[in-house]
Structure 1
Amino acid sequence: MESELALVRDDPWLTPYTNAIEARRDRFSEAWGTGLRSEAQLHRTNGLLFDEENQQWTYHEYAPHAHQLSLVGDFNNWDNNAHPATRDEHGNWHLTLPADTLTHLSSYKVCVVGDNGTHHRLSPFTRYALQNEDTHEFTGTVWHPEETYQWKNEAPPKPTAPRIYEAHIGLATEREGVGTYDEFRTFVLPRIAKLGYDTVQLMAIAEHPYYGSFGYHVANFFAPSSRFGTPDELRAMVDEAHGLGITVVLDLVHSHTVKNFAEGIREFDGQEGYLLHSGPAGEHEQWDSLLFDYGHPATRGFLLSNLAYWLEDFRFDGFRFDGVTSMLYHHHGDTTFDHYDKYFYDGVDWSSVTYLQLANALIREINPQALTIAEDFSGMPGCCQPPEEGGLGFDYRLGMGIPDHWIKLLKHTPDEQWDLNVIWNQLSNRRFGEKTVAYAESHDQALVGDKTLAFWLMDKEMYWHMKKGDENPIIDRGIAFHKMIRLLTMIAGGEAWLSFIGNEFGHPEWLDFPREGNDWSYKYARRQWSLADNPKLKYGGLQNFEGAMLQLVRDHKVLESAPAQLLNIDQENLSIQFERANLIFALNFHPHNSIADYQFSTHVPGTFRHLLDTDQPEFDGLERLTPKTLHHALDGHLSAYLPARCAVVFEKV
């Protein structure tokens, strides 16, 4: 009997796992039917809030094992006994204070008396935390200005095929220091829009004690990082992006939390296991962090409310969920996913699966146009299928194997030994019906310890030979391959595209945040926009090509169309041709073999116009081709000049 699950119908290999898929569907349905929407509103009640209706301050906190909670701060000289809270039978603590007790920018913490002693802690619902420059201590800070932020722009429609610009606010400035929300709003957002990206994915927004963690060791899940500015400056930045037609996605970290006791939620109520697993199950050894207990109602309410908070209070348009593979499995992905049993029986954390299903359902209920992306390298079936079908509910999954493959190829294999069949399989082998975000490199490849595509291709030569007119074979090869790799990946790799900030113009250096090993320098924790803007340098050519690619896929709806169809692989000449969205893409990776009158099948007769090529002078190419040239494929074979290390795009006319 044919299964009613679309997931199984699309992939018959899943038939033996029908019961397991139905079970995860049923667990979701049961949890979703318990009035989850109200459960995800803790950001409206918990923590320190001002009650406009009753003109008073309220403080609510869940701390079931604490002996006593009280509010302390500069408003009561940090007196542990001045403002005690009272506990109800469910482990929730409550306190009300007159309106004049605290003011805008008052400092506060929670005095928690528990089994581990008496400590001043940051509330898990802290909404703004400022760091002392001398002691580096974070302190909760009241954000209650006289006038609330007035939103100006509506969010743009959900992109049908996102062109994503992955960015970090702090390193988005050219000066040696920490960039701000305002700088990003006024300088970077217009660049992103002008280039043709329709989505920005923001890293490191939730507060984190160590800047060099890239924002992935979150301590305060409800506090936008004060390093970059105020909560209202973040709102203004999101608002401006919307005005430019840009969707704003938050890089969300619900996969783990920082170990830090002073800043984080660790043992908040005095005992191990507050919102987290206890013992070894609560520690991620590779990440040196702590793990949530997704099966606990309090944890679920905390995290789901966090999603609602960012969507409602800051109008983010969706999330890129970090570390999904680690969440899905008790072994956190430390295995080879070589059998379907690995997705349904071996080490799966079913509580996490249900949480992710609930998270996606909640996000859609709050904003039906929201965009969600999963960072999952395991290939979990159903990742991008609706929870009602037993899926996880994401819109897209990241094509994480693609950048790894490119880096491995550049690192270990000479050009003339590239296997185009392997490359094509890496780009095209993805699960039917589940959309992929393709990318040739992301922040992972930009960090110290790895290299970007540009650095793998050109390395130190970039420091000396990027001036126009300076001929250098390493630079020539690097610029040509940088464009070709990104074009091939964008067109053949998925249904969306992602580029990390600065990679679009081949930023010459890795990322290295201030640390003791580099004398706390910001030299490598910034983006040198002047390189791309300098007409005497070749970086601008790479940036121009990125813009041309983005315009191509936008104008021809390439990423919305069916997957690319292979036309020809010529391993001897290292050339490959394929079709997508009625466009023909022809690439020649050969180091020196330019082919006159190269013939390949188009499957259909017709006339094709030379639309775009990587050799054009505005892309710092060698200008060996003539744009708009017509080619006739009368017998279904197209003949064209295909220069070495060049890609050409043809459109049928």
Structure 2
Amino acid sequence: MSVAVTKKAIEKLINGYESDPFALLGMHETSAGLEVRAFLPDAVAVSVIDRKNGRKVATLERKHPSGFFCGAIPRRKRRFSYCLDVTWENAQGVVDDPYQFGILLQEMDIWFLAQGHHSRPYQCLGAHPAKLGDIDGITFAVWAPNAKSVSVVGDFSFWDERRFPMRLRRESGIWELFLPQAHLGDCYKYSILDANGERRLKADPYAFETQIRPETASIINTLPPIKPMPLSRQQANQRNAPISIYEVHLGSWRRHTDDQSWLSYRELAEQLIPYVKEMGFTHIELLPINEHPFDGSWGYQPLGLYSPTRRFGSPMDFRDFIEVAHQAEINVILDWVPGHFPEDDYGLRNFDGTSLYEYADRREGFHPDWNTLIYNYGRNEVLNYLSGNLLYWHEHFALDGFRFDAVASMLYRDYSRKEGEWIPNKHGGRENLEAIDFIRHTNKLLGTTCPATVTIAEESTDFPGVTLPPDDGGLGFNYKWNMGWMHDTLAYMQRDPIYRKFHHNQMTFGMLYAYNENFVLPLSHDEFVHGKGSLIGRMVGDDWQKFANLRAYLGFMWAYPGKKLLFMGCEFAQWREWNHDSSLDWHLLEEPNNPHQGVQHFVRDLNLSYQANAPLYECDFEREGFEWLTVDDHDNSVFAFCRKDAQGNEIIIISNFTPVVHHNYVVGVNKAGTYQEILNSDSEFYNGSNVGNLGEIETTASAFNGKPHSLSLSLPPLATLYLRLKD
């Protein structure tokens, strides 16, 4: 609806208090005919040009010294497409008037956004190249329902908040504007006059690219085209597939040796991907690559949830990195942080002067552990923002899976809080019902839209049904990190072998709940920071024993039911605790035939043996896939078990966690024949003492431990053996 051109109306506009700039600016039908109004600060003269024939049809008169122009168009009654011929003090040019265009967001999109059912909100909100008629430009849309006015500012406006005020769609709280003056690559933000009358400069929550810190502007970029997921990558994520994950922080895996600067996405594609392939890992898991302001958060305090970090290159460089991984038949998992976000002023905090994205009450909306804010999971628009993000990364960057960070902190309202510091749910309980609904909704959305994509929960409690489908009352994750197994087994390995017999159950207890969920066994980055030391540093004994312990432990882990995850540097036993500010200690591998190389070779052969033998992975989540052969030999700290595939083929695993060689050690087995020693962590090839069974061993007819046949073995010190029946 048009408003009269009064001094009060003009000053309301130029001072940034107008929520409907289209009521004043653009072309209007008046009793005197058509009238064009424009706000062009610093303009000297303005004329209206008919785009159809290129003719000048009117000269606008300056109505306000700030640059407000207005003029009637004689003998014209119907609206038409026009542009403005503007003379500046030192230049002249033709510009398109952004206030001649109609509404942008369609009613159906607005309805879905408001209901929380818009699977792909990033297609509507944010900045998008568009063509209206024959005019190219950028559409901007941002949700800020409690703002008094919003304008888009950027390179195209000289960062002048007066120039391009946006239209409020009152039914949704979304502000929109089509801007022919904006182009790909321009930096921009939203200037928001918030609910309290304060001016805020905010980055775009849906920006596809964001400046690297300390700069904070959003960058106009295109939405990458959708990439389908090939069948081979779908199969690689399945529960009956071998999944061995290499967890990587891109900024510290390797750096340039001369100045310790980061490798680019392209350089990482050239160096990291072949290394992962050679080492036999099937998946890479990336610590969060969403743009984040603080390097020391490792990406776990993201603000650019839709922006790949520019620390290593452009968004398309990142997509190319993923493509190189896929060409090498390696799936890529992204660490994803839906549990919290930082309080930086340019981000989501108090976005329109109100707690828009976060809970308003700090007892619900603040994380005491990380000094960050918590998303309001009960708000439909926040649900869209978070759930749609997974589809964005999967469809447009072809990511194969997502590991949800800190799920336990989302599930419980009293997480890390004392009595009186949290608010119970509506039933008086401690569960965050809104977060639970959000997780179920998101997993169901991803499972129905792209079912081969996996989600993994870092969930440290015994919350029931984490990997059950939502329709069965579960949270809907495909896999869950087995934090209990990790803590128990690491605690065991840190004990002197003399005392391990008193803690035998730390290695066996996990089988009591191994089939409660679909587990991933994680040795993740969290275990090698903040003074916890490195993985090799957690082993006991002299240096030889430390390396032997580590190889034996990894051999046990790779045979134990569950998918595998190993943090970078652990595969070659880096002594030093992980430091995100420097490269891994690759120099440890320079001297030939050293124990670091031995561990590296062993991890590679573990992965290759793992993939080559279906009993080690095919029935990870079925009780029939595992059987103890020796479970109670506390005194010798020996464990023996059998892994089976769906056809009944078996791999025998024996671990000796003492530095004592056991000759003629008897293990009962189900099948008679010749067993090949397919892996021995004590092999001299891995810098072990080379005790073994000369490659193969025959069963005897003597029954043992309830099994009809038995093997009499030489068990190496601090070692794990893999045996396979010969044909």
TM-score norm. by structure 1 comes to 0.84
Distance of aligned partners of 1:53 and 1:173 in 2 relative to their CA distance in 1, 3 Å threshold: farther
Q: Check conservation: 1:384, 1:393, Cα contact below 8 A.
A: yes
Deviation at 1:374, TM superposition (A): 0.6
Match of 2:370 in 1: 287
> Are 1:586 and 1:647, in contact at CA under 8 Å, matched by a contact in 2?
yes
Does the aligned pair in 2 maintain the 1:383–1:391 contact within 8 Å?
Answer: yes
The AA in structure 1 aligned to 2:127 is L
**CA distance in structure 1 between the partners assigned to 2:399 and 2:123 by the alignment:** 17
1:140 deviates by 1.1
The residue correspondences of 1:355-374 to structure 2 (distance < 5 A) are 355-374=438-457
The 10-residue stretch of structure 1 (199-208 or 398-407) with the greater mean CA deviation from structure 2: 398-407
**1:486 matched to 2:554:** yes
What is the rounded CA distance, in whole Å, between the counterparts of 2:667 and 2:114 in structure 1?
A: 59
Bigger Cα displacement from structure 2, 311-320 vs 87-96: 87-96
Q: Deviations over 1:223-262 (max 9, x none)?
A: 1111121100010011111111111111010011112222
Aligned to 2:127: 48
| Mean Cα deviation higher: 420-429 or 577-586 | 420-429
1:565 equivalent to 2:614? Answer no
Q: Deviations over 1:464-490 (max 9, x none)?
A: xxxxxxxxx711101111111111122
Matches within 5 A, 1:18-417: 39-51=118-130, 55-99=136-180, 101-116=181-196, 117-131=198-212, 136-144=214-222, 154=230, 156-159=233-236, 160-175=241-256, 176-262=260-346, 264-332=347-415, 346-411=429-494, 413-417=495-499
CA contact (8 A) 2:269 2:325 kept: yes
Question: Is contact 1:40–1:308 with CA below 8 Å preserved after alignment?
Answer: yes
How has the CA–CA distance of structure 1 residues 69 and 34 changed in structure 2, closer, same or farther, with 3 Å as cutoff?
A: closer
In the alignment, the residues of structure 2 paired with residue 152 and residue 289 of structure 1 have an alpha-carbon distance, to the nearest angstrom, of 35
Q: Is the 8 A contact 1:158 1:370 kept in 2?
A: no
Question: Cα offset for 1:509?
Answer: 1.3
Segment drifting more, 175-184 vs 356-365:
175-184
Which residue identity is paired with 2:266? D
| Partner Cα separation in structure 1 for residue 553 and residue 579 of structure 2 | 25
The residue aligned with 1:555 is 612
- Structure whose residues are more often strand by fraction: 2
Partners of 2:452 and 2:305 lie apart in 1 by 23
Cα distance in 1, alignment partners of residues 148 and 579 from structure 2: 43
**Residues 277 and 328 of structure 2 are in contact (CA less than 8 Å); yes or no, is this contact kept in structure 1?**
yes
Distance (whole Å) between structure 1 residues aligned to residue 416 and residue 563 of structure 2:
25
Aligned partner of 2:528 in structure 1 is 446
Looking at structure 2, the residues matched to 434 and 578 of structure 1 have their Cα atoms a distance apart, in angstroms, of 20
Q: Distance in 2 between matches of 1:626 and 1:597?
A: 10
Q: Which sits farther off after the overlay, 598-607 or 62-71?
A: 598-607
Asked whether 1:584 is paired with 2:648, we answer no
Q: CA RMSD in A?
A: 2.5
Letter in 2 for 1:228: F
Superposition deviation, residue 332 in structure 1: 2.4
Q: Partner residue of 2:81?
A: none
Q: Are the structure 2 counterparts of residues 156 and 530 from structure 1 closer, same or farther at C-alpha, using a change threshold of 3 Å?
A: farther
Look up the match of 2:61: none
SS at match of 1:200: strand
More displaced 10-residue stretch of structure 1: 636-645 or 169-178 = 169-178
Measure the CA separation in 2 of the matches of 1:622 and 1:302: 56
Whether 2:706 is the aligned partner of 1:649: answer no
Shift of 1:544: 0.8
How far 1:130 sits from its partner (Å)?
1.2
- The verdict on how the C-alpha distance between 1:157 and 1:530 changes in structure 2, with shifts beyond 3 A counting, is farther
The structure where helix makes up a greater share of residues is: 1
Identity of aligned pairs, percent?
24
Distance 2:722 2:229 in 1: 37
2:254 and 2:512 mapped to 1: Cα distance? 38
Q: Deviations over 1:451-475 (max 9, x none)?
A: 12212237xxxxxxxxxxxxxx711
Q: Letter of the 2:715 partner, please give it.
A: L
TM-score by length of 2: 0.75
- 2: CA distance, partners of 1:244 / 1:53: 42
* Cα deviation, residue 162, structure 1: 1.5
Deviations, residues 470-527 of structure 1 (Å, cap 9, x unaligned):
xxx71110111111111112222x32000111211112211234xxxxxxxx3xx322
Q: Which has the larger radius of gyration?
A: 2
Instruction: Report SS of the residue matched to 1:331.
Output: coil
Instruction: Please name the residue that 1:465 is paired with.
Output: none
Q: Alpha-carbon deviation of 1:428?
A: 1.9
Distance 1:199 1:424, change over 3 A: same
Q: Note the alpha carbon deviations across 1:526-577, whole angstroms, 9 max, x for none.
A: 2233433642532111111111111122111212224432111311122111
Change (3 A) 1:435 1:52: farther
Q: In 2, are the aligned partners of 1:375 and 1:397 still within 8 Å (CA)?
A: yes
Letter of the structure 1 residue corresponding to residue 697 of structure 2? L
User: What residue number does 1:531 align with?
Assistant: 588
Matches of 2:228 and 2:461, distance apart in 1: 41
Would the aligned equivalents of 2:191 and 2:200 in 1 still touch at CA under 8 Å? yes
Separation of aligned partners in 1, 2:667 and 2:119: 57
How far apart are the structure 2 equivalents of 1:152 and 1:301? 22
TM-aligned CA distance change 1:601 to 1:345, over 3 Å: farther
Say which SS state the counterpart of residue 699 (structure 2) adopts: strand
Alignment of 1:477 with 2:535, yes or no, is no
- Structure 1: which 5+ runs fail to align? 1-32, 336-341, 459-472, 514-521
Asked if 2 retains the 8 angstrom alpha-carbon contact of 1:266 and 1:272, the reply is yes
Which whole-Å CA distance do the structure 2 matches of 1:92 and 1:56 have between them?
23
State the one-letter code of the partner of 1:381.
P
Which residue number in structure 1 is paired with residue 24 of structure 2?
none
Alpha-carbon distance between aligned partners in 2 of 1:334 and 1:638, rounded to the nearest angstrom: 54
Letter in 1 for 2:122: H
- Please identify runs of 4+ aligned residues in structure 1 that moved more than 4 A: 33-38, 148-155
Contact 1:284–1:290 under 8 Å retained in 2: yes
| Residue-by-residue CA offset, 1:268-327 (whole Å, 9 max, x unaligned) | 111134344433210011121111111111111111111111111211112101111111
Once the two structures are TM-superposed, the CA of residue 605 in structure 1 deviates from its matched residue by 3.7
Distance 2:587 2:327 in 1: 26
Classify 1:434/1:253 alpha carbon distance in 2 versus 1 (closer, same or farther; 3 Å): same
Q: Contact between 1:173 and 1:526, CA under 8 Å: does it hold in 2?
A: yes
Higher mean displacement: 158-167 or 190-199 = 158-167
Whichever residue aligns with residue 261 of structure 1, its letter is: D
- CA gap of 1:574–1:274, structure 2 versus 1, over 3 A, is closer
Secondary structure in 2 matching 1:72: strand
Q: In 1, are the aligned partners of 2:673 and 2:699 still within 8 Å (CA)?
A: yes
Structure 2 CA distance for partners of 1:199 and 1:533, relative to 1, 3 Å: farther
Letter in 2 for 1:447: V
Conservation of the 8 A alpha-carbon contact between 2:367 and 2:373 = yes
Matched residue type, 2:126: G
Measured in 2, the distance between the counterparts of 1:626 and 1:604 equals 18
1:333–1:356 distance in 2 versus 1, CA, 3 Å: farther
Aligned to 1:368, the other structure's residue is in SS state coil
1:628 aligns with 2:695: yes
Matched-pair contact (CA < 8 Å) for 1:106–1:141: yes
Contact 1:597–1:640 (Cα < 8 Å) also in 2: yes
